[in-house]
Chains A and B, each alone.
Chain A
């Protein structure tokens, strides 16, 4: 992948993000934030790459593993907590008499 095409990817990704969010109702500010936050843990892929390419280099394996742990803490925790919040929102209409 050339650097220039990666820059294009960056640009289009940013525009996509701006376009997708648009107007968010305030009720969803927190879930959107924590959901997006979980997605930022995508760095787990970079950590995995590091571990796979470490070729037995133990310090690198450890750094990769710690990085993977941090990322997955972010991802798993973020998605779970978002789901918990959204579960509270979605049970509302059925509760209304």
Chain B
């Protein structure tokens, strides 16, 4: 072993250690920010390690430097600008975009190696080694392509650029996806047999498969898809590690893949659905053939903002239930103003966060943190559910399916079994909503029909602004 090899070995080892500590730290509130920086440092360290290794052994040609610099500057600059500019409300699509680009990078590496095998290594490959090489290239391309197109589709859907086409809710999509999957398999074996041109077939069909699998999934299932794609990008990186023979890539990729899987599991549990049913079941509305799924509302009470303000003023304990609608209306800051006023009047305010509220894991937490809500006030579902009977007022803002009592009471409902927030146990429930349209699942919400529920119709931001005015008139929070 010569010196450059030893140095690279030590740096790689250190980088893995720091990355592991970084991921570990990211799972604790106190250490998270430092952990993130530690991981970033570990990544730059690994680049230094790799470059110093090549400088010490084969050297790096000027031409290579130029292309390294071009790629790094453009990529880093665009990434930094986007990260700084993007509003917190569009975090799900941003994460999806970054994720997709990671997948694209793995895809391109594998493609590069496949089309132009390293000249100095290709002759001394025995059969077994070249087989492994082909397999890892194929896996890297396959997973990388699915990650890329899947993430881009997810991003487009979150941005509202893309809606869910009707045909994807019928059985046709299974047929289409099976065709893509079989075609990928054919391309894969053809590639191993030495037919290099079938690599393009693999790229195309696995890209299409990524689109076909993600397109039917939307709305409430998004958190599962986003965290699953995150896991895929790790797997793609690990596969690329096999292609270029790098343990560091394999370890880091495997860690990310595992972390993503855990998060996916948490999300699935939050909806009481299996991963398989999210991926292949289509949207909930397609399943709701039973009569309980639709049906008319019979007992809707609507009320004015003024009444809502009066009830709030008289309350001792208020629980806010935020949902995706809050993010869409960008009303988090206005909401914070309302709750500040209530708190100044000595009213206890907490936020009940359903595990799958929003469109990505932890979406509501990020949104409310942006509006300066102390995280001690954010309560998990299991913690807050026993509190509802002792609560005077619940304010439901842009949440729907996660507060549907059907999930508990109606065994014929498609939502049955999903853990929900028991808001109906509270004395009064106000649901702030644009109109009577159904939630994402298209399922009737029994909560709206209950006698202690009142609907306040209007855009969340506007209603909250009016609420601030009314509270002011009542002298709430004027001390």
A: residues with CB less than 8 A from B are 1, 3, 6, 9-18, 20-57, 59-93, 95-96
Contact = CB atoms under 8 A, between A and B. Distances in A.
Nearest to A79: B40
B23 interface: yes
For the complex, would chain A's binding face be called helix, strand, loop or mixed by DSSP majority? helix
Given A38-B39, A43-B102, A46-B241, A80 B247 contact: no
Nearest to B94: A81
Contact of A21 (B86, B88, B91, B262): B262
B314 interface: no
B192 interface: no
Given A53-B118, A85-B369, A86-B36, A6 B83 contact: no
For the complex, would chain B's binding face be called helix, strand, loop or mixed by DSSP majority? helix
Interface stretch (B285-293, B371-379, B456-464): B371-379
B42 to A, nearest CB: 8
Interface residues of B, number: 116
A40 B252 contact: yes
Most buried by A among B76, B105, B378: B105
A13 B86 contact: no
A23 to B, nearest CB: 8
Given A61-B67, A74-B99, A77-B80, A46 B230 contact: no
A36 B23 contact: yes
Given A51-B68, A84-B83, A28 B29 contact: yes
Interface string B427-468: 000000000000000000000000000000000000000000
A92 B300 CA distance: 39
A65 to B, nearest CB: 4
Interface of B: 19-20, 22-24, 26-29, 32-33, 35-37, 39-40, 43, 46-47, 50-51, 54, 58, 60-61, 63-64, 67-68, 70-72, 74-76, 78-80, 82-84, 86, 88, 91, 94-95, 98-99, 101-102, 104-106, 108-109, 111-113, 115-116, 118-120, 128-129, 132, 226-227, 230, 233-234, 236-238, 240-263, 266, 353, 355, 360-363, 365-366, 369-370, 372-376, 378, 380
A46 B104 contact: no
B110 to A, nearest CB: 9
Contacts of B80: 76-77, 80
8 contacts: A10-B250, A16-B258, A17-B256, A24-B266, A40-B236, A45-B244, A54-B116, A67-B112
A64 B259 CA distance: 28
B469 to A, nearest CB: 25
A29 B263 contact: yes
Nearest to A80: B83
Given A47-B109, A78-B83, A81-B82, 8 more contacts: A28-B29, A29-B266, A43-B102, A73-B76, A88-B366, A90-B32, A92-B372, A92-B373
Contact of B29 (A27, A55, A60, A74): A27
B362 A33 contact: yes
A64 B120 CA distance: 18
Given A17-B255, A48-B68, A63 B95 contact: no
